[in-house]
Amino acid sequence: MSGDLFFQGIALEYKKFIFHGDEILYFKPGCMDCSDADVHLMLDHKESLRSTRDRLELYAGDDALAFRLRIPGGYDSTALKFSDLADEFDSYVPISVGCTRTETETMTIDGVNVKIVSKATLNELSVLSTAPAMQASYGRVVSTETCGTLEEDYESGRLQLIGRYISLHRKMKASENGGEIRYSHVTSDYERKASAFERALAKLQ
């Protein structure tokens, strides 16, 4: 292993109804213009989190927009701070898209106005500290040993499968919390150690 890690996930699902303030949005497949060569990863759409010169890699599939950012390895590097989170299914954060809608139309569906987005320009992706618009949007840390290229991970269904798992996991956590939907669930150090111990026990049985 080179020591490098990747922060990757699903930023936007197409063909889904998204509640955005007072609007209901529906993004058509292929609507997102990802040609901007300098898309940043932000925190709450305000502060840039990109600390390396690596470009944010993007892949627009038929059903979703996927992303990946390399976290360089090396002694005392940023990667070391995230190494405990690598490949942990329960460790993730919500992701949101910042874009400029350039071509839209409003349709009335069952008496409700829905804004159909057929063209949009991607400005940035953001790690959120508030509730995501979509339950399946996420970012998580993966190791170079467990992933292919971003296109391969998307086309194989791996990213979508994890997204569906995370959506179910959020609902489960909400049910444990009296129905309150929280923006994300990131495992604590205790939970990670307990999970690793349970996996080790399962291998012995």
pLDDT in tens, 180-194: 665 555 666 656 666
65 CB neighbour count, 10 Å cutoff: 25
d(CA 128, CA 179): 21
31 pLDDT higher than 80? yes
64 pLDDT higher than 90? yes
Q: What is the pTM of this model?
A: 0.78
Q: What does the longest C-alpha to C-alpha distance in the chain come to?
A: 58
pLDDT in tens, 92-110: 888 888 889 999 999 998 8
- 3-class SS at 66? strand
